[in-house]
Amino acid sequence: MKNVKRFIAALMATVVVATLSGISAFATKTYPGVEDASDLGVGTYLCFGDSIATGYLSEQSGEDFKSINIAQTLRDGETTTNAYPTMIADALGLDVRDNPFGYFGNSNTQKNNDAWSWNHDHYDFYNYARDGLTSHEFRLLLDPSYYNQMTEEEKDISDNIILDGDFTKRGKAGFRQMQQHVHHDLAQADVITAWFGSNDLLFYVLQKTLAVVNDHTITDAANAALSTVGMAGALDAVINAAALVGKLPLVLATMLIQSNKANAAFAENWDAFMEIVMKEKKPTAKVYVGDIYNSNYGLKFTSTDQFRFGQLLSFSANEINNVIRNTSKYRSQYTVVHTAGVEPLLPDWAPLDQWQQALDEGYFYTMFMATAHPQRDGQIYLANEFVKAIKSNYLS
């Protein structure tokens, strides 16, 4: 368990704070490519989401991974101009600055005077997007008693995501503050978006695999890789180290088993989360959810021919999407927004012959994260897909 805890801490410690390059987007109600929906009469919008919704890396551009600033844009609840929820709020005619968490992304720009104080009873925009959160944390956000149902391993992983993930500088105290206010805020919203699930595949599958295999050679290799080249290098190290110590079949089998468990846990958490949302929202409020895309399909992280981690992620993504699109007991009560169309807008992986250079020069993790998170044009695409869905049935 200590190795797992160190692994999570090392993983989350790779994420640092970024500055935002400009604030002009707040001066206009128009984002090129996002349809206007201000005539719908939406008064309040609430977002649940992970790092895609925070706008992580969205202020970066291009595919020069050496120059990309691998950094977090939403650390303390501030709204960033390039995130799709900000664009949705703007398209709905709402004041994106009127939110209880603050706005903009660093200490050098203006913040709400009442940030994290909830001085008002009603805000235009409630932004509950945070980097790194899984379905466990979103369920826990709405139902603190769920913590008592979690296994010790799940608690340990979740605690470390909240404590070490920099999703908020306030740590557990900040998370408890969000728990105290989210029910009131949820009841105010006219439009609610929820999009998460991708982190379940990484944090719970990989960390649990290391715990089950319990081999210090494999764990040490993963930790060493995390400290130098990040998640993608850690995946490569796990497979290669497993092959060296004769545990490759065990590692691959364990990953598949843990992937199935993660999918089952997501299904349970999703319905538990949706049950509370549906009970506590306004009767007239509409809920829109995103399915998840897989930017790494077919990607081979290691020379081991038997294994392609990207294909495993694709299988798990399809299982999670089946829950969201088809099998959830609340499926008829929300609108699904398909997001796979953003994949062509994601930066392409560097050619395989450049990977060693990326590893040697320390930007392999940047490449891994940058190819998974939309830049501004991708965020505009996602925002517009949500806005089109909202326009299609909000008034019906």
Residue type, 256: L
Q: What is the pLDDT of residues 333-376, one digit of tens each?
A: 999 999 988 988 888 777 766 767 776 777 777 777 788 889 88
* Confidence at 125, pLDDT banded by 50, 70, 90: very high
- For 192-225, the pLDDT digits (tens) are 999 999 888 777 776 767 776 777 777 777 766 6
Over the range 279-292, which residues count as b (16 or more CB within 10 Å of their CB) and which as e?
Answer: ebbeeebbbbbbbb
pLDDT given at position 164: 56
Cα(239)–Cα(29) distance, integer angstroms: 49
At 373-394, the pLDDT tens digits run: 898 899 999 999 999 999 999 9
pLDDT digits (tens, 9 = 90+) for 167-198: 455 678 888 989 999 999 999 999 999 999 98
Segment (H or E) for 288? strand 286-290
So what's the pLDDT on residue 232? 53
pLDDT surpassing 50 at residue 63: yes
The whole-angstrom separation of Cα 81 and Cα 336 is: 24
Query: Where along the chain do its domains lie?
Result: 2-393
At residue 295, the pLDDT reads 72
DSSP character for 104?
Answer: S
Q: What does the pLDDT average to over 144-160? A: 88
SS (H, E, C) 157-212: HHHHHHHHCCCCCCHHHHHHHHHHHHHHHHHHCCEEEEECCHHHHHHHHHHHHHHH
Looking at mean pLDDT, say which of 75-89, 106-120, 208-222, 295-309 comes out highest.
Answer: 75-89
Q: What local confidence, expressed as pLDDT, does residue 16 receive?
A: 29
Mean pLDDT of 139-148: 97
Which residues make Cβ contacts (< 8 Å) with residue 235, sequence separation at least 6?
206, 301, 302, 309
Class of domain 2-393: alpha beta
Which tokens hold the place of 275?
Answer: 């049950």
Higher pLDDT, 278 or 258: 278
Alpha-carbon span 62 to 74, nearest angstrom = 21
More confident residue, 114 or 21: 114
Residue 78 has pLDDT above 60, yes or no: no
Q: How confident is the model at residue 29 (pLDDT cuts 50, 70, 90)?
A: low
Global pTM value: 0.83
